[in-house]
Amino acid sequence: MSDLITERLQRDWPVVCEIWQALRGALDAVGLQDKLPAEPAAFTRTELKKDPFDSSESLSGEWLVNGQLIGSVIVHENGQAYAEYDVVQPHPSKPQWFIEATTAWGKSGALASELRLLPAL
């Protein structure tokens, strides 16, 4: 990992941890907080991505299991962040819905989160 990525990761890790708690919060609302550990694991893959419009760099981190992407976070230079993490299970109290993932977005101190639902088949 390059020094730039390491430095950016250290700077943005508190935001990653906060957004992780927002992801867990959406799951907690339906009794599924055990689907995510209390703290985020280290990223499997991390890179800086340059925005072609304004040339700002965003920290992009991904979690993979057995080579499959299960979650990701992007933290932009301006502090805006977005994350999603796969849940992939029926909704525990609404059988007409299937939970695909938990998502969170916003800035530190002002994050929102929700479950991404699909109609059950």
Q: Across all residues in the chain, what is the average pLDDT? A: 96
CA-CA distance, 5 to 68, in Å (whole number)?
22
What tens digit of pLDDT does each residue of 11-68 get? 999 999 999 999 999 999 999 999 999 999 999 999 999 988 899 999 999 999 999 9
Q: What pLDDT is stored for residue 35 in this prediction? A: 92
User: Would you state the pLDDT for residue 107?
Assistant: 97
pLDDT score recorded for residue 121: 85
Mapping DSSP to helix (H, G, I), strand (E, B) and coil, where does residue 121 land? coil
Q: Which domain holds residue 7?
A: 3-119
Q: For the chain, how many structural domains are there in total?
A: 1
Q: Please report, rounded to a whole number, the percentage of residues in the chain having pLDDT higher than 70.
A: 100
Question: What is the predicted pLDDT for the residue at 117?
Answer: 97
Percent of the chain with pLDDT over 90: 94
**1/81: higher pLDDT:** 81
H helix intervals, 1-121: 3-28
Can you give the pLDDT at residue 1? 73
Residues in Cβ contact with 76 at an 8 Å cutoff, skipping those fewer than 6 apart: 51, 56, 58
